[in-house]
Amino acid sequence: MATVTFDKATRVYPGTERPAVDQLDLHIEDGEFLVLVGPSGCGKSTSLRMLAGLEDVNGGAILIGDRDVTDVQPKDRDIAMVFQNYALYPHMSVADNMGFALKIAGTPKAEIRQRVEEAAKILDLTEYLDRKPKALSGGQRQRVAMGRAIVRQPQVFLMDEPLSNLDAKLRVQTRTQIASLQRRLGVTTVYVTHDQTEALTMGDRIAVLSAGVLQQVGTPREMYDKPANVFVAGFIGSPAMNIGTFDVTDGKAQVGGASITLDRAVADGITPADGGRVTLGFRPESLDVVSSGSEGAFEVDVTLVEELGSDAFVYGTLKNGGDLHAGDSNQVIVRIDPRNVPDKGDTISVTIKPEQTHAFSAATGERLG
């Protein structure tokens, strides 16, 4: 068991100007499950591959425990990796796949067999040990890939989107299995995904990357409640947070027809560079439907209602102008009582629940207050 430390680790691909991973500083505790998450091309897989030794480190250092592994061969780093496409050896049986690293390392046959059988039992693969990967289902192959990592008993598990080739139902099921397996084995794990739901549900802590730069690290709760900047705010949470930039007059933001009083700390944080504007964000569940004309209420034209049984979401546009939208959509999302849904074309009035507004600098996108 060991900690993992990225110390200003940088990767610049030959022939490119911008680093794929830019001065990554990250410390992962012993036994921790850390999820690297971000949109595609953000450098999360590159970071993982740097830790694995499959990618050169052009600047900074990477430590496993107290040992600097920056220039150590992949096989000598005492890590095991689960690949997105599993990377099973097609010409070997499941048992040989799982025991291959040990075989290369010269472990006695009896011990290999015992360790493979133990791992197979944990993963429910015992009856498939003699099969070739081709004769397995996607879920079983995924478990073999996990087994191959477990058998090595490494200091660190590296997982590169291991669930992305499974169907939705199996993904949810395997998600919990991997998380509980990791807690049971207590092995430090770095897990890469682009799916923020996976990140929130599995990680002890989450690290959000964008364009090769670390945006924020924290527990799922921290990431959700206190996003450090507009990017994290928009990325974490499903459905996404409503975010818009509004004019501020006398310490009040003008959202639609409403004036929303900003916190003192937020108002003080606005600089001349922001040009008298502030970026506000509020999650769909932070909005209450009220009767029209209530204080601080703004109106939303309903374009679509999505009913999910336990929840219902209204998708609409902000009335009286103003650019307010959730994620990549151009719509405002409001969570409403599923027993009392408006019709398409209606107009509803909503207020923001107290203390649930996130304010960011209009210029830098950093959190205010």
Which of residues 8, 18, 25, 85 is near other proteins by CB under 8 A?
Answer: 85
Least Å distance, CB 189 to other proteins, is 15
Contact 333, 227 (CB under 8 A): no
Q: Which is nearer to other proteins, 136 or 243 (CB)?
A: 136
Q: In this chain, which stretch among 48-56, 171-179, 289-297, 311-319 interacts with other proteins, using CB under 8 A? A: 48-56
Q: In this chain, which stretch among 72-80, 184-192, 198-206, 258-266 interacts with other proteins, using CB under 8 A? A: 72-80
Strands 287-290 and 347-352: antiparallel
- Contacting other proteins within 89-108 (CB under 8 A): 89-92, 100-101, 104-105
117-156 footprint of other proteins as x/- string (CB under 8 A): ---------------x-x-------------x--------
Q: In this chain, which stretch among 77-85, 186-194, 290-298, 361-369 interacts with other proteins, using CB under 8 A? A: 77-85
Q: In this chain, which stretch among 17-25, 71-79, 176-184, 250-258 interacts with other proteins, using CB under 8 A? A: 71-79
Q: In this chain, which stretch among 34-42, 49-57, 225-233, 348-356 interacts with other proteins, using CB under 8 A? A: 49-57
87 binds other proteins (CB under 8 A): yes
Least Å distance, CB 100 to other proteins, is 5
SS (H, E, C) the chain: CCCEEEEEEEECCCCCCCCCEEEEEEEECCCCEEEEECCCCCCHHHHHHHHHCCCCCCEEEEEECCEECCCCCHHHCCEEEECCCCCCCCCCCHHHHHHHHHHHHCCCHHHHHHHHHHHHHHHCCHHHCCCCHHHCCHHHHHHHHHHHHHHCCCCEEEEECCCCCCCHHHHHHHHHHHHHHHHHHCCEEEEEECCHHHHHHHCCEEEEEECCEEEEEECHHHHHHCCCEHHHHHHCCCCCCEEEEEEEECCEEEECCEEEECCHHHHHHCCHHHCCEEEEEECHHHEEEECCCCCCCEEEEEEEEEECCCCEEEEEEECCCCCEEECCCCCEEEEECCCCCCCCCCEEEEEECCCCCEEEECCCCEECC
70 binds other proteins (CB under 8 A): no
Nearest to 96 by CA among 42, 133, 121: 133
Hey, CA dihedral for 57, 63, 67, 72, is it positive or negative?
A: negative
Binding-residue total with other proteins (CB under 8 A): 25
Least Å distance, CB 53 to other proteins, is 8
Which of residues 4, 69, 80, 362 is near other proteins by CB under 8 A?
Answer: 80
Q: Which is nearer to other proteins, 76 or 306 (CB)?
A: 76
Least Å distance, CB 85 to other proteins, is 6
Q: Which is nearer to other proteins, 104 or 110 (CB)?
A: 104
Q: Which is nearer to other proteins, 135 or 304 (CB)?
A: 135
64 binds other proteins (CB under 8 A): no
Q: In this chain, which stretch among 73-81, 197-205, 246-254, 317-325 interacts with other proteins, using CB under 8 A? A: 73-81
The residues that touch other proteins, with contacts defined as CB under 8 A, are: 52-54, 73-75, 79-81, 83-85, 87-92, 100-101, 104-105, 132, 134, 148
